[in-house]
Amino acid sequence: MLDKNNIPKHVAIIMDGNGRWAKMRRLMRSAGHRKGMKRIKEITRAANQLGIETLTLFAFSCENWQRPKKEVDMLMRAFSHFLDNDIKELNKDNLRFRVIGRSVSLSERLLFKIKKAQELTAKNTGMTLVLALNYGARQEIVDACRQIIELATKSPDWIKTLNERVFSQFLYTRNLPELDLLIRTGAELRLSNFLLWQASYAELYFTKIYWPDFKKEDLSEAIKDYQERHRRFGEISPERSEGRRRRIKE
Ligand code: FPP
């Protein structure tokens, strides 16, 4: 049973394990990606029903270009297919769609479809589905610094106003809620250059389940685990500080 009053506002997922899922079944890696794509629909719908405000999915990293051309081309076709077909369904469900990442290297055709999908869903009021495409967290931070330096060169006094809140407005994730829960499927225990700034105080959840097998029940399980965590944001918990005070008095 989930506590409806403690649903994470922003959940991000590293959808890992498509390749290993396919290998286990003696299938091509592309079969794993196709199955993974179907999972996106189910998990997006489940997240929306649970009342999550923003779901960010890591679909393609800046480093993924190093994969064999055949696999990269297959993934690009999958994104294109997703934009052509699945966006219509998302729109019917009142979902907003947004893409984060570097636009360089993506084809003009794909960029056009992304723009259209974002425009189509811009006025919707339901959950925001964010796809991280050609995304890298270090690249995101460097891109933010470039913009900040440009602004500071024009108006040097402005730099005095720079703080963490202002800095985050230069990140691709500007105006999205703080990241609460970061899930990684596929058994690896690392962040792989995903949302490094945003994950500062996020709760991390790792599961061995490969992404193509990650069901809505598994999402609920991750949220249940999140609800059992005690988020302190660097402070000490009231009970602990009370205990400490008592010990000091004694
Ligand atoms: C990681 O698994 C997955 C990816 C790099 C691509 C994610 C893509 C999808 C889920 C399908 C298409 C998505 C959209 C939005 C249409 P991996 O290939 O690294 O798996 P492995 O670690 O087992 O090899």
pLDDT at residue 240 tops 70: no
* Residue 108 domain flag: yes
- Which ligand 1 atom sits nearest the alpha carbon of residue 86? 16
pLDDT at residue 246 tops 60: no
Coil, helix or strand for 70? helix
0.75 exceeded by the pTM? yes
Site residues for ligand 1, CB cut-off 6 Å: 15-20, 33, 36-37, 40, 59, 64, 75, 78-79, 82, 131, 186, 211
The per-residue pLDDT for range 136-147, each reduced to its tens digit, is 999 999 999 999
- Which ligand 1 atom sits nearest the alpha carbon of residue 211? 10
Instruction: Report which secondary-structure segment, H or E, holds 96.
Output: strand 96-100
What is the total count of domains within the chain? 1
The per-residue pLDDT for range 17-33, each reduced to its tens digit, is 999 999 999 999 999 99
pLDDT at residue 116 tops 60: yes
Q: Following DSSP, what letter does each residue of 113-162 receive, concatenated?
A: HHHHHHHHHTT--SPEEEEEEEE-HHHHHHHHHHHHHHHHHH-GGGGGG-
Residue 70: the pLDDT is 97
Do residues 127 and 54 make contact, with C-beta atoms less than 8 angstroms apart? yes
Residue 196: the pLDDT is 98
Distance from the alpha carbon of residue 212 to the mean position of ligand 1, in angstroms: 9
Angle between helices 69-81 and 29-50 (to 10 degrees): 40
* Enclosing domain of residue 184: 4-136+178-249
Nearest to 72 by CA among 85, 82, 62: 62
**Active-site positions?**
16, 64
Residue 232: the pLDDT is 87
Distance from the alpha carbon of residue 164 to the mean position of ligand 1, in angstroms: 32
CA 13 – CA 218 distance, rounded (Å): 12
Give me the mean pLDDT over the 110-129 stretch: 97
* Residue 169 domain flag: no
* Residue 236 domain flag: yes
The per-residue pLDDT for range 20-66, each reduced to its tens digit, is 999 999 999 999 999 999 999 999 999 999 999 999 999 999 999 99
The enclosing domain of 201 has a CATH number of 3.40.1180.10
